[in-house]
Amino acid sequence: MRPTFLIALLLLLLVEACSVAEDPQSRLAEAGQLDLSGWNFVSQGTVALDGEWEFYWSQLLTPEEIAGQAASPQYQSVPALWTSYGDGMPVKGYATYRLQVSLPEDEQVLALLHIGQGSSSRLWVDGELVVSDGDVGTGKGEIVRSGRPQIIYLAAQGQTMELVFQVSNFSHRSPGFRASLLLGEADELTASLHKNSVFESVYMSLLLGLALYHFFLYSQRRSQIISLWFACLCLLAGIRLGVTGNDMLASLLPFLNWEITFRLEYITFFLSMPSLALLMRSIYPDDLDRWFLRLTLSVALAYSLFVLISSTLVASYTVPSYQIILLLEVVYFVYFLLRIFWLKRQGRYFVGAATLVGLLGLVSEILSFNGLLPFMASAPVGMVGFVFVQAAYLATHYSSSFRKVEDLSARLEQNLHELEESEAKYRGIFEESNDVIFVADKTGRIVDISPSCEDLLGLTPDEVKGNETNVYASASKQDRSRFARRMGRDEMVREFEVGLTHRDGRKIRVVLNASTRLDKHGKVIGIQGTVRDISDRIQAQQQRERADELELIASTDPLTGAHTRRYFDDVVAREMARSARNNSPLALVILDIDHFKATNDNHGHLAGDKVLVALADLCSRHIRSTDIFCRFGGEEFILLMPDTSLEDAIQKTESLRRLVAAKPLVEFNGIEIAATFSAGVAVWNGEEDIEELIARGDQGLYRAKEGGRNCCMSGEAQAA
């Protein structure tokens, strides 16, 4: 399976799982009244009962008691935390909310979906108590609430429906009416809730099943530590998925009360990153730093212990600080992924795709939790994607290991047979090979080596034989350790690059291929392999890299990091040809910093250079990857925008201009220096040459300068 297709499939799975229910419509209530008399729930969909509800602070009122109230109520927004209402409202407390809804007169079977608030609550509909979730009172009581979604079917039609909602909070840092009540057609709401439950049940069952399976694999072969950590990660993801969302695990195990599921939710969240780190360390022991593993595990265990021994209210304050730590750990994991791709580690596509999906789930949940995403995201769902890709990788890993064992066994058996049949033929190949062929015993002592070792190392076979080390004796200690680990793990090494030292002191680079030697009983008696000199190939590669580096230097402005005029001249002809071939627009923008000479005169050329660098950096970060941004000379820049019309080019240039002008670009010697630019825009007409196109861009720039600067104008028409 191609890595790009695998990543796309997993991201689609994540999006589907995160959006199994359609977004409800919004008809905001005003002053405790919501008019839905003209609403058709079948054709127009579900409605979130958001907006201004009547609000009675520090009062737990029944519908009858509210009817007897003489004072005018307050009105507050729903859903929201009551700590956001102002006036220093405390976390601990209790309140009553009330809303009157005008329903349509046609006979529609309606229902309410109560998602759960995280605080104790009671809900009356038309004077009837329909939801009682936890101990609602004026002080902390027994925490017995479930927090699971509930469907309330409505019988009343064609009249005003009264909703009275009591909330009390003494056990969590987020109090109030936190989640919308959804009103809609009964079958639609029931199907939506059922669909969510089915998704979560399937995912949870698969995760827990994978955990048990890999625990069993580890019990059968303790050397496969990767199975243990993968099983732990599956177990954490399955438990967390079961205690979030629809709380499926608590539905299956009634003894799991709210306090237990609360602590399970937090602890599985804390332990997810160290479990991932342990798994990655078992796969790539050389690439994930030990200090990161120890630090991540210590922090997670400390947070988990604190959640276990503290009250739920105090424990709920741990999440924001841990989210910051988690984001820092995500940054390290991005570095780790780049490292294994840079070093071309085996299985990097599977591991990269899996880790990326898992990290996206964690980060999206954090952003969603803090209101930075327009939809609710779930880290457990992202972890489901991670687990499935990682399971596919482990399956291929085990299969590959079995194939290696089979291939190695067959190859060694064949080699032994051939050696027994034709010692003379073997000796001819052994002595005439350009590659160094060696045979060593279990201690690493060379027992036989081809004569070509003298050309490679400057040592005769007799000088090498009996040496109390192996053929790469002059290699570094780190390379010898890496070789030993790989031989111990895979029983064979392919294309192992290592540095050796010639007798005359010259450094040479070689590629080592080796495998274990077995006797007729399958017992390891040593290793055998070949060594090939690749110094010339390495030198040629270095020369190519140097040429590429020089080419990059020539195409990059040394001050601003933008492309050079030379690079622009090379690429513009290609873009014009592509534009003509595809019949697509090609826009050109010329930018010139306003009053740049005054900046140099007033603050010095160093300050002017900083302005150039800052403007180039800001523009480069806010253009598309297909756009070409170049320094044209002095304080003038040019921007080439493929597939961009005149209107779009002006709009995008205006956005850049506002970003630059919004605040001072740099601070120099304690002085903040602001800058603006003027710009001219032109679109290639398909026939003119580049000089004519630039001339029209200059014409727009001239108009912008004449028009007062700090603006963008077309080279053909009026100002933007």
- Chain segment 330-361, per-residue pLDDT in tens: 889 888 888 888 988 887 777 777 777 766 76
- Mean pLDDT value across residues 450-460: 77
Q: Which residue has the higher pLDDT, 433 or 277?
A: 277
Which option is the CATH number for 560-714: 3.20.20.70, 3.60.20.10, 1.10.1240.10, 3.30.70.270?
Answer: 3.30.70.270
User: How much is the pLDDT for 329?
Assistant: 87
- 457 to each of 469, 472, 503, 533, 634, how far by Cα in Å? 15, 10, 6, 10, 57
The C-alpha atoms of residue 50 and residue 72 are separated, in whole angstroms, by 21
Do residues 701 and 637 touch, judged by C-beta distance below 8 A? no
- pLDDT tens across 665-693, in order? 888 888 888 899 999 999 999 888 889 99
Laid out side by side, the sheet with 677-683 consists of 628-633, 636-642, 586-593, 677-683, 712-714
User: How much is the pLDDT for 297?
Assistant: 93
User: How much is the pLDDT for 21?
Assistant: 41
Helical H segments across 555-689, by residue range: 565-582, 596-603, 605-621, 646-662
The residues with which 81 forms a beta bridge, in sequence order, are 176
User: How much is the pLDDT for 469?
Assistant: 42
- Mean pLDDT value across residues 217-233: 84
> Scanning the structure block, which residue is given the tokens 């399971």?
391
The C-alpha atoms of residue 683 and residue 581 are separated, in whole angstroms, by 16
The DSSP symbol for 346 reads: T
- pLDDT tens across 425-435, in order? 555 566 656 78
CA-closest candidate to residue 93, choices 177, 26, 183: 177
Q: Is the pLDDT of residue 387 over 70?
A: no
Q: Is the pLDDT of residue 25 over 80?
A: no
The DSSP symbol for 556 reads: B
**pLDDT confidence bin for 116, thresholds 50/70/90:** confident
User: How much is the pLDDT for 587?
Assistant: 93
User: How much is the pLDDT for 409?
Assistant: 65
Q: Provide the residue count of the chain.
A: 720
The C-alpha atoms of residue 30 and residue 10 are separated, in whole angstroms, by 42
Q: Is the pLDDT of residue 379 over 90?
A: no
Q: Is the pLDDT of residue 9 over 90?
A: no
> Is 16 considered catalytic here?
no
User: How much is the pLDDT for 54?
Assistant: 92
User: How much is the pLDDT for 498?
Assistant: 78
Do residues 148 and 251 touch, judged by C-beta distance below 8 A? yes
**pLDDT confidence bin for 205, thresholds 50/70/90:** confident
Q: Is the pLDDT of residue 144 over 70?
A: no
CATH code for 425-538? 3.30.450.20
CA-closest candidate to residue 646, choices 719, 552, 709: 719
Q: Is the pLDDT of residue 405 over 90?
A: no
Do residues 585 and 683 touch, judged by C-beta distance below 8 A? yes
Residue 595, C-beta contacts closer than 8 angstroms, at least 6 positions apart: 709
DSSP string, 32-48: TEEE-TT--HHHH--EE
User: How much is the pLDDT for 680?
Assistant: 93
User: How much is the pLDDT for 500?
Assistant: 78
CA-closest candidate to residue 279, choices 397, 366, 381, 360: 397
* Tally of CB atoms within 10 A around 428: 11
> Could you give the angle at which helices 646-662 and 605-621 cross, rounded to 10 degrees?
130
- Mean pLDDT value across residues 433-445: 76
- 237 to each of 386, 433, 594, how far by Cα in Å? 10, 55, 56
Q: Which residue has the higher pLDDT, 378 or 530?
A: 530
The C-alpha atoms of residue 254 and residue 438 are separated, in whole angstroms, by 67
> Scanning the structure block, which residue is given the tokens 């670009």?
665
Do residues 165 and 121 touch, judged by C-beta distance below 8 A? yes
Do residues 448 and 426 touch, judged by C-beta distance below 8 A? no
**pLDDT confidence bin for 207, thresholds 50/70/90:** confident
Catalytic residue selected from 162, 635, 667, 692: 635
Q: Is the pLDDT of residue 2 over 60?
A: no
The residues with which 48 forms a beta bridge, in sequence order, are 26, 182
User: How much is the pLDDT for 4?
Assistant: 41
Lowest mean pLDDT among 24-28, 367-371, 668-672, 703-707: 367-371
* Tally of CB atoms within 10 A around 478: 10
Q: Which residue has the higher pLDDT, 632 or 434?
A: 632
User: How much is the pLDDT for 406?
Assistant: 66
CA-closest candidate to residue 467, choices 448, 452, 446: 446
- Mean pLDDT value across residues 628-654: 91
- The structure's pTM equals 0.52
Share the mean pLDDT of the chain.
80
* Structure tokens that stand for 88 in this block: 């220093």
**pLDDT confidence bin for 718, thresholds 50/70/90:** very low
CATH superfamily of 27-179: Galactose-binding domain-like (2.60.120.260)
Per-range mean pLDDT, top range of 285-299, 341-355, 384-398: 285-299
Per-range mean pLDDT, top range of 152-156, 458-462, 497-501, 664-668: 664-668
* Structure tokens that stand for 166 in this block: 């009591």
User: How much is the pLDDT for 655?
Assistant: 92
Q: Which residue has the higher pLDDT, 46 or 139?
A: 46
Lowest mean pLDDT among 318-322, 363-367, 568-572: 363-367
The DSSP symbol for 192 reads: H
The C-alpha atoms of residue 338 and residue 344 are separated, in whole angstroms, by 10
- pLDDT tens across 595-625, in order? 888 888 888 889 888 998 999 899 989 999 8
